[in-house]
Amino acid sequence: MYIGKVIGRVVATIKDPGLAAQRLLIVQPLTPQLEPTGKQIVCTDSLGVGSGQLVYWTRGKESSFPFLPTEVPTDTTIVGIVDQLNLC
């Protein structure tokens, strides 16, 4: 899983039918020290996350698991909201 910050959303009038009911959010990946790293990505939202929230997300086949039994064609999905981050 990866940490990121929601910085926006995507509005698409035409998209894959499997994404018809899904929210698409723009996430800035972060390091464990909360520094921006890499390019911004588009994630499906399985939780109803708001803009500016710190989240953790997953990629690959596991990113479609929160939507089972529906098969959502996604490669990245927000799977949790970070309440607190403690670095050791």
Question: pLDDT of 32-78, one tens digit each?
Answer: 899 999 999 999 998 999 999 999 999 998 898 988 898 889 999 99
**Which whole number is the average pLDDT over 10-29?**
90
Question: For residue 88, is pLDDT > 80?
Answer: no
Contacts of the segment 8-12: beta carbons below 8 A, 24+ positions apart: 8/51, 9/51, 10/42
Residue 14, token pair as written in the block: 């035409």
User: Considering only CA atoms, which of 60, 4, 78 is closest in space to residue 34?
Assistant: 4
CB 19 within 8 A of CB 72: yes
- Structure-token match 């509005």, residue found: 11
48: region left, alpha or beta (phi > 0 left; psi from -120 to 50 alpha): left
Domains, the chain, ordered by start: 2-50+59-75 (2.40.50.220)
Record the pTM. Answer: 0.89
